[in-house]
Structure 1
């Protein structure tokens, strides 16, 4: 694991960090790790289907248009790759 040093932290911020850590029953160092993880890691990964559905809603694609896409879709099976 990496080590991180933060310099010049204002006294009031350090004091608030210690109070928050005590409220959560952690050390100040553990609280900093929790704050960093909470703010930088996504809570949930973005699923492709959800992202596409949201995009479709934003640009105004309705069920009728999506059914039209199904009709227009090329259903010809793909040719396998040849390494010749």
Structure 2
């Protein structure tokens, strides 16, 4: 999937992946896509709730089980309004 910015949140535990995502989204233009990679299993529910509350859109969620520690990959489009 195409994205403009990538955030590596591997090794961080809640709430740090969400806080870093929020900061990264503040720095990208509306409509752009942020790729976030995290290893925190709780981030799946956290990012769903975060996007529902803020109006950003999760375009894709995937798991990379082949990594040394399971990774969760999100593509989030910044809200336009």
TM-score by length of 1: 0.26
Determine which structure has the larger helix proportion and give its number: 1
Larger radius of gyration: 1
Determine which structure has the larger strand proportion and give its number: 2
Higher relative contact order (CA 8 A, sep 6+): 2
TM-score by length of 2: 0.27
